[in-house]
């Protein structure tokens, strides 16, 4: 069994980050147990020819086939089992599906040492951040996929899946929450974003940078998410226990995103309010600015509908902080709009106390290492 105390020391000290898989390899009976949960996406895609890099059907191959193609090599680093959760493009999944996925991951981690979730890259950052906020186990959760289908020349799919399993088996991301592994790079779920529609190096973490890399059989961790500070403590888990806040029969609140641009109208926000949305995330210009018409619609929605708003920037980098002159809007720091929506949705499912939600955005949503002095 992978022990968090040993791992945490290694992560903080960053002294064991270059140990090879060969050095860590155990007898077959002692190999880490890794569950690979398939949801489809490009990684499970089938092309018409070996050079149809963009023209293919996603979510066609079962995850058992993908893992089977990696044998015998994958069997030397982990005792791998598979679960077919679904098999479609990532954008086709609903928030209700996300709830079931969390349950599946937690169930697997009761008996396995780590989990790998394969999914499409289009909304992988949302899959990853959702799991980061809702999975109750602190065991490694790795998301992977590919930019090219399994069946084309030069596909990145097999290498990404193998490296994700190798990373999971290493145990080096215990207490990290969910991470993404693509193109040999390890990214924190909170920070990773898809930055290119076609290139294989599409995922990056902005100013924060990658957590580490997988170089053949070397898993190297260069930094850790701030939540490792609470490893082994009750405070490591988020307040978003789906069994309590979104159990059977309980629906999640409706939260939408409104994008600002030159002379943007307020109709979208009004429509969201009229349709019963509990909250809206605005993707604003610069440090979160929105047009006068959107501002008016937002103010009316807060006053008349008691809606909660979070503010993000459409630039892709930089932070939006609370506007002290307007206590009705929560600054989402450097969370992108789609991730701020996930956090606001879960927050509103848990409480209607805006001050408490603001606190989660400024602590959990903006996790920072605290001074030990």
- Catalytically active residues are 42
Question: Is the CB of residue 42 less than 8 Å from the CB of residue 157?
Answer: yes
Query: Tokens in use for 206?
Result: 């902005």
Question: Is the CB of residue 302 less than 8 Å from the CB of residue 278?
Answer: no
Which residue from 260, 262, 280 is spatially nearest to 271, judged by alpha carbons? 280
Residue 207, class by beta-carbon neighbours within 10 Å (0-12 exposed, 13-18 middle, 19+ buried)? exposed
Question: Is the CB of residue 291 less than 8 Å from the CB of residue 321?
Answer: no
Q: Put the strands of the sheet holding 178-182 in their side by side order.
A: 79-84, 33-38, 114-118, 141-144, 178-182, 185-188, 212-215, 218-221
Cα dihedral 147, 151, 152, 157, rounded to 10, equals 30
Question: Is the CB of residue 119 less than 8 Å from the CB of residue 101?
Answer: no
The total number of residues written for the chain in this structure: 373
- Look at the block and give the residue holding tokens 């990290």: 176
**What burial letters (b/e) apply to 241-266, b meaning 16+ CB within 10 Å?**
ebeebbeeeeebbebbbbebeeebeb
By three-state DSSP, how is residue 224 classified? Answer: coil
Query: Tokens in use for 371?
Result: 């001074």
Beta strand 141-144 pairing with 329-331: unpaired
């Amino acid at each position: 069994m992978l022990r968090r105390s040993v791992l945490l020391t290694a992560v903080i000290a960053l002294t064991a980050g270059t140990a090879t898989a060969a050095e860590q390899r155990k007898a077959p009976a002692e190999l880490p147990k890794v569950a690979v949960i398939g949801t489809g996406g490009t990684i499970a895609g089938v092309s018409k020819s070996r050079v149809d890099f963009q023209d293919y059907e996603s979510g066609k191959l079962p995850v058992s086939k993908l893992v089977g193609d990696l044998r015998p090599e994958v069997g030397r680093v982990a005792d791998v089992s598979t679960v077919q959760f679904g098999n479609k493009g990532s954008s086709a999944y609903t928030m209700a599906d996300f709830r079931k996925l969390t349950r599946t991951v937690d169930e697997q981690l009761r008996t396995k040492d780590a989990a790998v979730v394969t999914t499409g890259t289009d909304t992988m950052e949302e899959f990853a951040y959702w799991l980061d906020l809702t999975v109750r186990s602190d065991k490694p959760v790795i998301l992977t996929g590919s930019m090219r289908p399994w069946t084309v020349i030069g596909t990145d799919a097999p290498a990404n899946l193998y490296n994700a399993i190798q990373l999971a088996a290493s145990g080096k991301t215990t207490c990290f929450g969910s991470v993404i592994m693509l193109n040999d790079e390890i990214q924190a779920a909170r920070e990773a974003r898809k930055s290119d529609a076609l290139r294989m190096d599409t995922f990056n973490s902005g100013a924060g940078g990658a957590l580490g890399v997988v170089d053949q059989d070397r898993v190297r961790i260069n930094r850790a998410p701030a939540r490792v500070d609470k490893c082994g403590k009750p405070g490591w888990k988020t307040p978003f226990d789906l069994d309590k806040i979104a159990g059977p029969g309980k629906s999640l609140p409706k939260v939408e995103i409104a994008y600002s641009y030159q002379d943007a109208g307020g109709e979208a926000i009004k429509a969201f309010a009229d349709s019963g949305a509990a909250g809206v995330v605005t993707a604003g210009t610069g440090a979160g600015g929105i047009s006068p018409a959107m501002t008016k619609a937002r103010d009316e929605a807060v006053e008349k509908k008691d809606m909660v708003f979070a503010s993000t920037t459409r630039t892709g980098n930089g932070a939006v902080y609370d506007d002290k002159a307007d206590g009705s809007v929560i600054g989402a720091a450097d969370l992108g709009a789609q991730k701020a929506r996930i956090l606001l949705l879960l927050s509103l499912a848990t409480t209607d106390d805006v001050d408490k939600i603001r606190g989660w955005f400024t602590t959990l949503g903006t996790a920072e290492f605290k001074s030990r002095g």
